[in-house]
Structures are given as structure tokens and as C-alpha cells.
Structure 1
Amino acid sequence: MRKVFTKLALTVLSLGSVSAWAQKNDLGAWYMYFGNNKIGKKLNWHNEIQYRNFDAVGDLEQLLIRTGVGYDLTENNNNVLLGYGFILSQPYVNGEKKENIEHRIFQQYITKQKFGRFNLQHRYRLEERFLESDFRMRFRYLLGLNIPITQKEMLPKSLYASVYNEIFLHFDSPVFDRNRVYGALGYVINKNMRIEAGYMNQIQENRNRGQIQIGFYNNIPFTKN
């Protein structure tokens, strides 16, 4: 286990070194917590916090808090969820930092597939975005893949690789909003917790931005059912 944490630490340190070298090239960092906790035989509570920075260690770009309740249509799969998000953004406008608040309602459907060592996830999400002076709707599709490295399955104390691609589309013009491509190294702590450290590149119409990402995933059930 010590070797595993050493590898993850080296990954984080190397990402930090890249950040220090490339901050002028528009590289930021996201620190994320994701909770997906059973509250019934088929019900789950989703909760997450994302602290997004313009650089590696400070200068807040966005604080995102999201929660929701989901229902499994089949055993531990095909989950439909209704949720709410609070988003505080602090963008720079003409060199001056501004503050915007968004309230977001979203509906999503997640289905999982397994092909040998390949663990696929499809996530379809519809968002109703209540901005301070606007209302917009957006569709998102994420295709994710987790592949165990040190074991045949994603078992406790195993390393895995994680990749995803997610596209964002507006319901009005311009239709294309952004696309995210992600790659990471992860470690399964136990059957309910894992951590990941990786890099995400976000492409928008007039901008291409990289993000270091460190995420912690907590699936501890709140019920014995």
C-alpha cells in the first residue's frame, strides 16, 4: 500500500511541477469530492463539492456544490436522478474579478457496462441554468472508462486508469458550449472509497484550458438494505 501511495504522490507532484511551469499557459486546478450514498434499496443521495482554481493552489475560479436524489431502475444500475446545483463563479473581466451566482436544476440518467476489464459509464444530463440575468438549457453527454491495472477487477488496494470525454451542447445558439477530455491514475482504497489524480483539457469556442484534477469518491451506504 505504501508503494501505491508513493506512486500517487509522485503523480500529484509531477502534476504540480507541470502547473508551476505552465501557469502562464492557462493551467488551473480542480479539487473535488463526490459522494454517492445509498439511502434505500434503490435510492441514493448524490452530493459533491468542487473547488476550482485559476492556478494550482489559489485564486478561486468557481465553487460548485451539487446534490440530488437518484433511483436505480435495475439493481445497482440504470440510475435516474433529480438534482440541484449552486455555482459561485469569479471570472476576470477586463482584468477585474467579478462574482456571478448560478442556480441549476438538472436531471440525469447513468448506465454502466462491463466488457472484461473495461468498465464503461454513460451519463446523460439535462440542465436548467438560472443565471443572474439569463436562463439557459444545456445537454451533456459523458462517456467514461475505468480500467484496472494491478488486478483484473477494481478491487481494494488496486490501481486503475480512468479516462472520459464529455460534450456540452446548448439548446440555443451557439449550440456547442465545450468539450472535456480527461485522463487519470486512480487507487481503490476499499469497496466504498477511491481517489484519482489526473489532467483534464477543456475546449471552448475561443478558449483551450487545462486543469489538474484531484478527486475523492465516497460511496459509503447510509443504509444496510
Structure 2
Amino acid sequence: MKILKSLALIIFTLGAAKSFAQKSDLGAWYMYFGNNKISKKLNFHNEIQYRNFDGIGDLEQLLIRTGIGYDLTENNNNVLLGYGFILSQPYVNGEKKENIEHRIFQQYITKQKFGRFYLQHRYRLEERFLQDDFRMRFRYMLGLNIPINNKEMLPKTFYGSVYNEIFLNLNSPTFDRNRVYGALGYVINKNLRIEAGYMNQIQENKNRGQVQIGFYNNIPFNKN
């Protein structure tokens, strides 16, 4: 746990240091993801992301997502219907604006394991109700987790995590953005883990980096 605390401290310090450089494009995202079993087949998804232009304090976006999923096979092939509330505060011509978006989404997640490689495919369709517009978007993410000090994702295991996600609009322009992510994670126990890493996003021909801290909670609600 001392190593984990040191890792988190390094990432937080990096984000805080960047907050003093107002012209820097490096932001920071602090994220919580919950995926909790309601029954053998049903799960409750809950998620909060606090995104900043700098280390902390200059809000870029607050994202809250929730949904109900169903496993088509045992602990895999999950289909989910969800809702998202997104509060954005972008800078427009040097002035900060506020936008609110309501989002309905449908997704399918399938997982595979090859040796010590844990693969995940996520397909997501979003209906985006913006303040002055309605748009639809498709997203595909390919993620990979690789345990380092164990062959399995067991408690007290460090692991590497990478993913690539592409966003495509169903209307023009087709390409929306692409995200590439790399992180070091730690399995606290069978239901809890934490990751600290870096994500680069390409949007409108611009690259922007994000330091990320993510906490994952899979504690089941059912007694079994």
C-alpha cells in the first residue's frame, strides 16, 4: 500500500504543478466507476468524473452516468441501458461558458482472456440532448489489462492498463475524437482497484493530455 500511496502522490503532484502553468493544455480527471451486481444477471452501473483544465479547481466538465445492465452469459457479454448528465464549462473566446447535456446510451461489453492478457471490447451508442442541438454518436473502446507481479488479477496485484477509444458521429463531421490511455493499476481486493495514468485525446486536430486517477468498485449488492 505504501507503493500505491506514493504513486497516487506523484500523479497528484504532477497535476498540481501543472495548475500553475495557465497556458498548459494538461488537464486532470478524477474518476469513480461502480459496477455492482443486483442479481446473478443484473448489474447497476454508477459513475462520476470530475474533469479539470488544470490540476484542480478550474472545472472543465462534471459527468454523472448510471444504468442497468444484463449479462447474456455468466459474468460476461453485458448489455446496458443508461443515462448521463454532463455539465461542461468550456472557454469560448477567453470567457467561460456553461453547457448542460442529457445523454441516453446503450452499450455492449464483452471480455476475453488470453493467458495473462485481459481484453475488453466496449461498443456504445449515445443519443445526446444538447441545449440547442441533438446528436448521435458511436464509440468503440479496446482495453487491455496485464498483471505484473501475479499471473492473475488477484488482490495485491499491480497491473498495466491501456486502451484506445474512437468516437464517431452519426452526422457530419464523422470523426469526433480518439483517446489513447496508459496507466499503472493496483488490485486492492477482489472488488476494489485503483489506477493512475495518462490519456491523450485528439479532437479537432488538437492533442490534449490528461492525468487520470480512477477508482473502481465492484462490491455486489446481492448477498451471493
Aligned partners of 2:147 and 2:22: how far apart in 1? 32
C-alpha distance after superposition, 1:161-197 (max 9, x if no partner) = 0000000000011000000000000000000000000
Structure 1 residue 22, shift from structure 2 partner: 6.3
After TM superposition, the structure 1 = structure 2 runs for residues 46-195 of structure 1, keeping only pairs within 5 Å, are 46-195=45-194
RMSD: 1.5
Structure 1 residue 98, shift from structure 2 partner: 0.5
Aligned partners of 2:72 and 2:116: how far apart in 1? 24
Q: Say if 1:112 and 1:119, in contact at 8 Å, map to a contact too.
A: yes
Structure 1 residue 58, shift from structure 2 partner: 1.5
Q: Counterpart of 2:40?
A: 41
Aligned partners of 2:115 and 2:17: how far apart in 1? 34
TM-score, structure 1 as length reference = 0.95
Query: What is the identity, as a one-letter code, of the residue corresponding to 1:209?
Result: R
Structure 2: give runs of 5+ residues left out of the alignment.
Answer: none
Structure 1 residue 15, shift from structure 2 partner: 3.6
Structure 1 residue 12, shift from structure 2 partner: 1.8
Q: Is residue 217 from structure 1 mapped to residue 216 from structure 2 by the alignment? A: yes
Query: What is the identity, as a one-letter code, of the residue corresponding to 1:165?
Result: N
C-alpha distance after superposition, 1:46-91 (max 9, x if no partner) = 0000000000112000000000000000000000000000000001
* Corresponding residue pairs, total: 224
Identity %: 83
Structure 1 residue 20, shift from structure 2 partner: 5.3
Q: Counterpart of 1:197?
A: 196
Q: CA, structure 1 residues 23+145, in 2 after alignment: closer, same or farther (shift >3 Å)?
A: farther
Structure 1 residue 136, shift from structure 2 partner: 0.2
Q: Counterpart of 1:25?
A: 24
Q: Say if 2:194 and 2:216, in contact at 8 Å, map to a contact too.
A: yes
Structure 1 residue 208, shift from structure 2 partner: 1.3
Q: CA, structure 1 residues 155+139, in 2 after alignment: closer, same or farther (shift >3 Å)?
A: same
Aligned partners of 2:21 and 2:135: how far apart in 1? 33
Structure 1: give runs of 5+ residues left out of the alignment.
Answer: none
Runs of 4+ residues over 6 Å off in structure 1: none
Aligned partners of 1:59 and 1:9: how far apart in 2? 20
TM-score, structure 2 as length reference = 0.95
C-alpha distance after superposition, 1:1-44 (max 9, x if no partner) = 334433x2354256437735866330100000000000011000
Aligned partners of 2:171 and 2:202: how far apart in 1? 19
